[in-house]
Structure formats: structure tokens, C-alpha cells
Amino acid sequence: MKLEGVELRQVALPLVTPFRTSLGTQTTRNALLVRVVTDEGEGFGECVAEDDPMYCPEYLEGAADVIRRFFLPTLFGLDDLDPAGVAPALSHLRGHPMAKSAVEMAVLDAWLTSRGISLAAHLGAVRRSLAVGVSVGITDTVDDLLDIVDKHLSAQYARIKLKIEPGWDIEPVRAVRETFGADIMLTVDANTAYEAGDIPHLAKLDAYGLTLIEQPFDPDDLDSHIRFAARVDTPICLDESITSARDAADAIRRRACSIINIKPGRVGGYLEARRIHDLARANGIPVWCGGMLETGLGRAANLALAALPGFTLPGDISATARYYEKDITAPFVLADGRLSVPQGPGLGIAPLQSNLADLTTATEWIGR
Ligand code: OSB
Ligand code: MG
């Protein structure tokens, strides 16, 4: 396959409700779409970097810049482009996993579509529908939180994840557990908001039967995760700390986590995500698919990945209505608490042209 040109498209999707985490409050999802045009057809990728480098060092404008300035000149020079060749071709360029993932995703979509193969089948999916979870932001009051959790449980989400930060941790967890009972699957995500000195406080979470505690400490502070994991019964899950299969192997070996959140963007692509899945599975470590408030394109690809056998916990892959009134694709709708895994060639879903036009804020064509 030969790359003929790439369209970089910025889209802006207003969120149905602001999403507050320990990192800040978000009201609009700005995303970067990558459309590759090849001699065998087209494909779409989504870059999950955010406006600001707070969750990770990447940010949207930087991702667009590194793609146009460094990735594309390299890829235009290849005579035979295939999905497995994207990461090796870009490996001399350090970092920027979310930008790399978006380009690899677009090449996967184009290549698989021209061969009539779904991303799910290509990755090794074993399920056609998945129970999914929902990530609940920090609210002004515990009563507001209970109302939101109640609504999500009524919609049959299989797992509730509460965002926590210092001052919003034990109390909301206790209230949700007391109100909705021992049977709901409940987790928390701190997005690195704590320090080693908080371990005695965080250990109180052990009383609430959480399925996991996600990323309490800095991405590079494996040591505190190791100490915390040794002190509590609740499994520790890493998100921000894991940026490659090598990181995952290291964290597992050092017992910094017993569960891994896999986000393809964070680890440089769906193929590296599958390698982490394979490694975790070989080590008896459950994985689940994290989310970055994806548009329908990223959601379709995440569903394909999360249908692999080692994804034994519900992912942060919620129905479209939890995020957006209008998405760039047809909406994903929960049925009995489950989402269907797209089965068509490539991503199995394409943008709705009129929605895409309405939500686009900028486009740029880069020819070979
Ligand atoms: O830490 O998992 C996270 C969203 C943006 C950045 C980081 C995270 C999240 C979420 C939302 O928790 C997951 C989703 O529903 O897309
Ligand atoms: Mg997280």
C-alpha cells in the first residue's frame, strides 16, 4: 500500500455535561482526525491527545505538528506501507505515542477495509458484544454524585468508576457503596493526585470492596505504587505509568500493579496495545480498555480491542449519549448494558458526512 496524502481535521464536540477530574474540568472534546488516502483506499484514525499536556505530555496542536512535520515525510518515503510497519518506521522519532497511534489506526482502517477484514477480527476478538463501564467525574456535592450514579446504574452500566482527588475520596466512595450496595462493581481513579505520604489515608479505601484503585501516584513513581500495593488488599491498576509493553512487563515484575488499563493512544497504537494484552494475559494480569472521551471512531476501535479474551473487566467505553449529543458517527447505544463490537471491514464505522461537517473547526491536506 502506498500513502498518497493525509487530511488532518480538527473537530470540536461539546460534552453533554462537564467532566471534572483531579486534572481539571473539560466541557468540549477537541479531537484530531487523521484521514489517510492510499492507492488502496482511505482510512480514519483518531488522536486522543487533549488540549493541554496535563494527562500526559502530548497535546493536540503538538500532535498535529509532529505528524505533519516528521511522521508524514517518513511515511511518504515508504513504497510498501502496512499497519505493522508504521511503528517501526517512526521508532527513530521519540515519544508522541498518541500521534503515532492515530496514524497507525488510520493505516489499519485503510488496509483492513481494502481486504474486507474487521479490526476486531484482525486483533483477535472473541466476543461480539461487551459489558461496559462508565467514568463519573467529581461533582459539587455527594447528593449530585448519587443522582448521577443512580442514572448510570439504571442504564445498566456494568461498572462505576469514580474520579477522586484529595478531599473527594473516602466520603463519596462510602456514600456510593452504602446507597447502592455491595453488589455494584465500583472502582476509583485518582489521575496521579496523591503522594507517598497519602498512603495511610488511601488505605482506608480498602474497606469498600473496590475492584481496583487506578493510578494514585505520579506516572514515574512506581515505587509508591509498589508500597501501596503491598499494604492494601484492593488491586492497584496503572494507567498513566504504562506507555509500552516494556513498561507493563516492568510494572508486573515489580508488583506495582495487578491490573492494567490499556489505552491504545497512550501506548502508541492498537498493535502495541495487543502486545500488552498478550503479556498481561500470560502473567495472569487482567486488563481493561481505558477511554479518552473518544468520538465514535475511537470508540469503534476500542470496542474491537476490548473484545480480546484478556479484557476481563468492563472498559471505559460508554454509550455515545454519556458523552455527546452529536457525534461524528452514528451513536453507540447500550442494549442490556452492552455495546456491540463493530463487525464491518476496518473500523466498521465511518463518519456521517453532515455531522462531520458541522463539528469540524479546521482541515488541512498534506499531499505526498
Ligand atoms: O484517566 O481514565 C482516565 C478521560 C480523559 C483522560 C483520562 C481519563 C479519562 C476517563 C474517561 O476516565 C474515560 C472515558 O469514558 O472515555
Ligand atoms: Mg485513568
Residue 175: predicted pLDDT: 98
Q: What does the domain layout of the chain look like in residue ranges?
A: 3-116+350-367, 121-340
Residues marked as catalytic: 163, 263
Report helix, strand and coil shares of the chain as percent, to nearest 5.
Answer: 40, 25, 40
135 lines ligand 1 (CB under 6 A): yes
Per-residue pLDDT band for 338 (boundaries 50, 70, 90) equals: very high
C-alpha 89 chain-centroid distance: 24
Question: pLDDT tens digits for 290-301?
Answer: 999 999 999 999
42 lines ligand 1 (CB under 6 A): no
pTM of the model: 0.98
Question: pLDDT tens digits for 143-178?
Answer: 999 999 999 999 999 999 999 999 999 999 999 999
191 lines ligand 1 (CB under 6 A): yes
Render the burial of 96-110: b for 16+ CB within 10 Å, e for the rest. bbbbbbbbbbbbbbb
Question: pLDDT tens digits for 202-230?
Answer: 999 999 999 999 999 999 999 999 999 99
Topology of the domain comprising 121-340: TIM Barrel (3.20.20)
Ligand nearest to the CA of 162: 1
* ipTM given for this complex: 0.99
239 lines ligand 1 (CB under 6 A): yes
Topology of the domain comprising 3-116+350-367: Enolase-like; domain 1 (3.30.390)
Task: Please provide the DSSP assignment of 234-247 as one string.
Answer: SPEEESTT--SHHH
Instruction: Work out which ligand 1 atom sits closest to the CA atom of 317.
Output: 15
Question: What is the average pLDDT score of the chain?
Answer: 98
Nearest-CA residue for ligand 1 atom 5 is 292
Select from 316, 320, 322, 334 the residue to mutate for testing ligand 1; criterion: most ligand atoms less than 8 Å from CB: 316
